[in-house]
Structure 1
């Protein structure tokens, strides 16, 4: 690339507000929800999940002089990747949603994951606003990493700068009260699940960090965010509700999706579960815990695809649940193809084909 072209692009980058998002869960949802909320501004955002050392530069090279905001998702699969992405993007606003066990194989421990995510904070602009989940166990560590940078926190406890209470969780949406600096507003969230309330709070704080009022920011959560394969509500040919949550899978996201499945007003709930990857030596324990979690939430039937997912099925059956082990997508589909309107099916941990 010619030097004059590169300098012109860099000047554009400096003029635009760059918001970078990382975390084990919620990155893509927060990215899309935030990007669609800047209704009166020109926004550049990460497409799909192009969030690595190729995707992030590719996204930022799309910045033009007319863009006001860049909303960039940053992910990681190897140690040091987030640090490099922070150097490239040099964000003005950082959102760190959480740290959970989605990459044990690459980072060895939850602490390793948290440290990797934290590199986005230490690599941000010296005046960047840092938005953190105060309910995460690594919040104190990330807060310290922020140094003199301003920190805004969200959570479900009153210690957070923005906290939610009086939650009402429904099958397709939620309601809550949000409190910020003593001001309380009733909020409608056009998405199901407590985790989406947390994601929504992160969006609100990012909007406020870029100049929007508290009142206007919470109104943005009334507009649903549609991410293909993320709690996507479909209907089968026999009118059964099919919840496609195959975009990605981590233990925490599986539990959140099970929570949503359990809220559906149907006679029976069905979970089709494939194996989760990148868990290392914790693979068996995680799948067992997921089987137990599904049973605790009252899921009617668990269908496991493959031997690894079958560990969850064994745990489910040990607690008296109805579980079935399949060797292929086709076998699993055959078990639910005749289900009708009084059934809800969640597909998690494998791709719909």
Structure 2
């Protein structure tokens, strides 16, 4: 793309000499020669202060919202964050193949990785790295698109109404997946129905011949079908009748799945654990088939997939214990899913729970409810860390231990470990529960 074309896409002002742009970056630490530097501004940072560093690193020009006295071509825009999105929306148009957008309260990253494993068997594609799923991460992902990419899988996250609408308007998916709606982000949205409506905004970006992939097991499936506004709908589920469904058997080390679709049936072995991941596999199967994958592709792609780091990842623990690292993040639905995996593991079971964030006024009640669930599922012991998680200990009752210090928790937990013990570690990112995993496992995570 030329600099003048980029300026036009961003609705920016540029009167200088035209030149080629060979990439876009927002981080001066990773600027490569010939790239366009976009000076983003946030509550605690301002990229405008680093334009000179970008120039020294080889940036061909900078996108700014205020004048800067530096010898570097500048594209002036009103808002650099919006400009980044506008540029990404223009760049996205080069993709001729399917673009699959994925959102939901739980499972979106796992479903994204499942689809990528299936779709990537025979061709190159663009896939969201990590969880770069917000109004900065999505455009950054789209701007990595190359002419060799035959498909794209874009994860979309949110914590307020309108965010998914903005992202889907930028990415323009041809296939859009909603995994589910749960009590995540209640702090910003107030109710699960509001969360569901916010997730349903993803369908606004679909063309008239686009395909909506909807969880038939979710109570908000009727709402999402309505929000799909007449577009083709493919449902997936394991409890309700659906276009893509299965029979399954949960085992301590895998799930055996008999997948049923309109295209036929196939048996597979899923190595990532839990009933919820069986449902995630149904979502990925539906999306991949809609994008042109065969049943053999679905089987091969799902069977080769291994757990994403920090998402029900099984590790060897001290004294022969089994550690299930599910520390990537936590909300009520994902904690409940993790507890279900733990109860099916056999032997003595220990849940280590840190605070769940963004639950608003319902936080105390929800944490207590998680403790009650752990007791009802006969989890042998509960260790909690954090002010909110103490309510889970209260809900569990006798046998629970609450800690204010992670190191003390680790020391006491090690005393409980042996070859008959399975430990699930779970908590929101802010709790850094991976430190507990590192303290009780044989493998240190980088």
Residue in structure 1 matching 2:126, options 22, 44, 58? 44
Equivalent residue number for residue 34 of structure 1: 115
Residue in structure 1 matching 2:101, options 20, 26, 45? 20
Contact persistence 1:12–1:63 (CA under 8 A):
no
Q: Which has the larger radius of gyration?
A: 2
Distance in 2 of aligned mates of 1:79 and 1:241: 40
Residue in structure 2 matching 1:343, options 421, 435, 443? 421
Distance in 2 of aligned mates of 1:128 and 1:218: 25
Q: Deviation at 1:217? A: 1.7
Contact persistence 2:169–2:204 (CA under 8 A):
no
Equivalent residue number for residue 357 of structure 2: 277
Contact persistence 1:46–1:71 (CA under 8 A):
yes
The reply on whether 1:141 has 2:219 as its aligned counterpart is no
Equivalent residue number for residue 108 of structure 1: 190
Q: How many residues align?
A: 348
Distance in 2 of aligned mates of 1:149 and 1:107: 27
The reply on whether 1:217 has 2:298 as its aligned counterpart is yes
**Where in structure 2 are the equivalents of 1:85-164 lying within 5 Å?**
85-157=167-239, 159-164=241-246
- What secondary structure, in the 3-state scheme, does the structure 2 residue paired with 1:253 have? helix
Contact persistence 1:32–1:225 (CA under 8 A):
no
For structure 2, the 5+ residue unaligned runs are 10-86, 436-446
Which structure has more relative contact order (CA 8 Å, sep 6+)? It is: 1
Contact persistence 1:156–1:164 (CA under 8 A):
yes
- What secondary structure, in the 3-state scheme, does the structure 2 residue paired with 1:195 have? helix
The reply on whether 1:208 has 2:286 as its aligned counterpart is no
Q: Deviation at 1:206? A: 1.3
Distance in 2 of aligned mates of 1:243 and 1:158: 29
Q: 1:78 to 1:232 in 2, by over 3 A?
A: same
Distance in 2 of aligned mates of 1:54 and 1:306: 30
The reply on whether 1:328 has 2:392 as its aligned counterpart is no
Post-superposition Cα deviations, 1:157-200, rounded to whole Å, max 9, x if no partner, equal 452111122x2111121013222238443332222111011000
Distance in 1 of aligned mates of 2:107 and 2:135: 20
- What secondary structure, in the 3-state scheme, does the structure 1 residue paired with 2:102 have? strand
Contact persistence 1:272–1:303 (CA under 8 A):
yes
For structure 1, the 5+ residue unaligned runs are none
Post-superposition Cα deviations, 1:251-271, rounded to whole Å, max 9, x if no partner, equal 0100111111112133x1111
The reply on whether 1:169 has 2:250 as its aligned counterpart is yes
Distance in 2 of aligned mates of 1:325 and 1:136: 34
Q: Deviation at 1:287? A: 0.7
Q: Which deviates further from its counterpart, 291-300 or 13-22?
A: 13-22
Distance in 2 of aligned mates of 1:66 and 1:162: 30
Contact persistence 1:33–1:225 (CA under 8 A):
no
- What secondary structure, in the 3-state scheme, does the structure 2 residue paired with 1:112 have? helix
* TM-score, scaled relative to structure 1: 0.94
Alpha carbon RMSD of aligned pairs, Å? 1.8
Contact persistence 1:272–1:332 (CA under 8 A):
no
